Structure 1
Amino acid sequence: MNALPATVNRFFALLVAVICIVVGGAAITWTTHTPWVHDHLERIDQGWFARAGDQNWWGWALVGVLVVSLLLGAWLLSLNIRPRKVGDIELAGSDSSGSLTLNPSRLADAVAAELQAAPEIVSAKAKALDDRKRELLRITVVAHPDTGYDDLIARVRTAEKHLHSALDGSRLRPQFLLHYDDPGTKGKNAKGARVV
């Protein structure tokens, strides 16, 4: 998740928590007959709540709350599900005479193809993404269930060395997610996730 969605989500979680604490605290103090709370709540015209539904503005107020809620909800959804892509990466060796750039999506495809060509690998998928201001090349590898862990790690280490040489001086970092395939699923499901 990017920094902006994470900050917005934390703000709204804090806001909901504060509202719940205030309402819950008011309910508890009301039932325990705390004088200060009773004095303040009794000053409120409680008949207003019964009369509000009969007012002309009540319907418009409900429509306004509905529209604002829908717009806020749509904005929050778009903020959280928007693509977290990484732009072209400038490599070491770039200078005033020119810049060397690399498309991370192409690099991800190349890494996945290299890993998937290995006989012990069922599938390999890679994608470049921005995770809270960290540019990652996330590679998900699913290995045959009878593959030894050391063999799998050796295969991944080779891919990692190739990536480090290609990404020298770049902020993009590889992240490997390793899984073992479930023997009865023929590559559809994977178990035993491990992050390297």
Structure 2
Amino acid sequence: MNRSASVLHRLSIGVVGVVLVAVAVAVILYQVSVEPVAGWISRIDTRQLTETVGKGWFGAVLALVAVLAAYWGWRLIRTTIAPHRPEQFLLDASETEGALTISLKQVAQAIEEHLATQTGLRRVRAQALDDRGQNIIRITVDARPDRSYDEIVGALAPTVEDLRTAFAGSDIHVQAFVHLDALE
């Protein structure tokens, strides 16, 4: 998972969790009359609380909080839904006069076509993904059972290293998955 998305998720869950635990502990301590918590809670002016809830601005504040919570919740959900495809990648060498872009989908297609010619690889799939804001080129290889792991990695490694060299310093990551078919 992308680090920034992961931090947002953990921070959000942590804040909500701490608030809920604090409220639960306060309710339990009040129910068993533990001081000073029971004294603090008994000093809350419920009449003032009722008057505040009845005021016109309270509904607006409550609606604003609900909208912000819904927006934040949607942002958190959106970062965890299925990855989507990135369109283009802006290269670091771009200047103000013009932008150098490449289509990651076309890079993935070229990788797939190149690796499909390798012997020992039964099926090759290369994808360009935007996984929670992280650009990834993911290569998945199914290998025939009569090939050794070293042969498979030997066919795959030069392509992976070429990609890592080409995208060095960018936010594009290269993943390679090898599925070894079972012996028949």
Tell me the TM-score range normalised by the shorter chain. 0.5 to 0.7
Q: Which runs of 5+ in 2 are unaligned?
A: none
Distance, in Å, in 1 between the alignment partners of 2:66 and 2:96 is 54
Q: Does 1:29 align with 2:29?
A: yes
Residue 147 of structure 2 aligns with which residue? 147
Distance change in 2, residues 1:13/1:182 (3 Å): farther
Deviations 1:80-105 (A, max 9, x none): 447473614356xx899988654332
CA displacement at 1:150 relative to structure 2: 1.1
The answer (yes or no) to whether the contact 1:2–1:84 under 8 Å persists in 2 is no
CA displacement at 1:135 relative to structure 2: 4.8
CA displacement at 1:114 relative to structure 2: 1.9
Distance change in 2, residues 1:22/1:101 (3 Å): same
Distance change in 2, residues 1:148/1:80 (3 Å): same
Paired positions, count = 175
What is the RMSD of the two structures over their aligned residues, measured on CA atoms?
Answer: 4.2
The answer (yes or no) to whether the contact 1:89–1:170 under 8 Å persists in 2 is no
The 3-state SS of whatever aligns with 2:178 is strand
CA displacement at 1:153 relative to structure 2: 0.9
TM-score (norm 1): 0.62
* AA aligned opposite 1:87: F
Distance, in Å, in 2 between the alignment partners of 1:125 and 1:101 is 23
Distance, in Å, in 2 between the alignment partners of 1:96 and 1:181 is 50
* AA aligned opposite 2:74: A
The answer (yes or no) to whether the contact 2:108–2:128 under 8 Å persists in 1 is yes
Counting only pairs closer than 5 Å after superposition, residues 1-196 of structure 1 correspond to structure 2 as: 1-44=1-44, 64=63, 69-81=69-81, 83=84, 85=86, 87-90=89-92, 102-129=102-129, 135-163=135-163, 167=166, 171=170, 172-181=172-181
Distance, in Å, in 2 between the alignment partners of 1:3 and 1:84 is 19
